[in-house]
Amino acid sequence: MKFESSTAKPKILVTRKVFPEHLAQLTERFDVMSNQEDISLAPSELASRLADKEGALVTGGDRIDETVLIAAANLRVVSSISVGHNHIDLAACTQHRVMATNTPDVLTETTADLAWALMMAAARRISESERWLRAGHWKRWSLDGFLGVDVHHSTLGILGMGRIGQAIARRARGFSMRTLYHNRSRLPSDVEDACAAQYVERDALFRHADHVMLVLPYSSENHHCVGSAELGCMKPGATLTNIARGGLIDEVALCKALRDGRIAAAGLDVFEGEPNVLPELLSVEHTALTPHIGSASRVTRDAMAQLAIDNLLEAFSGVRPRCLLNPETWRN
């Protein structure tokens, strides 16, 4: 939907705290209602605040669905500071002729870094040993203290080989790893060569990988795609790392696999009920847990926010947003 606003500044809602320079930039162009207090907005509060708004700058924790869209009759653009967009009902947005955008690409390398940090922390029991040290238990060195599993010269299995998956695979070459991947569709041979990655069927990935990495988008079809069956066919010394979405893993099954020693360790940056975390996960020792910080470097979060703002500015300037998720809403 191509449109031009009136001379009055368009009203927008910024649902979460943003950097001051970004808020100043938005204020120059828009009539801004900003949640700089960073209060989590309940669905009813979000709908209420959007009632008279033409645009919204949201994050992955803001659910934009039919209920919200019905209440926001003037809404024209929802710009999310995220690459994932399962929090946005794209079909409903399209029906209400609301453009939805996201922020891909700018977080790829930073998120791949975090994936490696988590995988290595899990494999080498970094978080577990640090907790033990901080509790004052370290009295002497021991030959069998906190034995982990090697990353170098092992086999990495990547489930989901998009931009971030490929960035993770490229890093594996420096550790002399063999890289297997499974994706909805096989990559072109030149991309496989650049990543030194071999396509395998999904079951084979779980059987042969020493370190399994989840980098696929969440969908209803992917809900709990890693459960007791998948964990049961992994190697006993294998690790599982998830930087994608929490709902991909059956966390109850994962806790059981960790407690039973079925797999060695897990590194998780995302959780099914986040920000709430399954209490049993917090008590399992062989885990490295982080609070959804995959893209959390200052440079990258700045780039994400700026791209989200650019999407808004383009839409309100009559230019098709560069990261438009539902192109059906755009008309020249």
Residue 66 appears among annotated catalytic residues:
no
**Burial class of residue 61 in the structure, from the number of CB atoms within 10 Å of its CB (0-12 exposed, 13-18 middle, 19+ buried):** middle
Complete DSSP assignment for 314-329: HHHTTS--TTBS-GGG
Nearest to 81 by CA among 279, 306, 265: 306
DSSP state of 177: -
Task: Note if 245 is an active site residue.
Answer: yes
In whole angstroms, give the CA distance from residue 116 to residue 254. 20
Exactly one of 171, 208, 274, 320 is catalytic; which is it? 274
Instruction: List the beta bridge partners of residue 101.
Output: 79, 324
Q: Are the CB atoms for 165 and 116 separated by under 8 Å?
A: no
Strand order in the sheet with 55-58: 31-34, 11-14, 55-58, 77-80, 99-101
Contact predicate 205/212, CB 8 Å = yes
Q: Which of 171, 208, 292, 320 is catalytic?
A: 292
Give the angle subtended at the CA of 60 by the CAs of 54 and 64, to the nearest 5°: 45
SS3 of 68, please?
helix
109 alpha carbon, distance to own chain's centre: 13
Q: CA-CA distances (angstroms) from residue 297 to 6, 66, 164, 243?
A: 37, 33, 16, 15
List 22, 76, 182, 245, catalytic entry: 245
**Active site (catalytic) residues:** 245, 274, 292
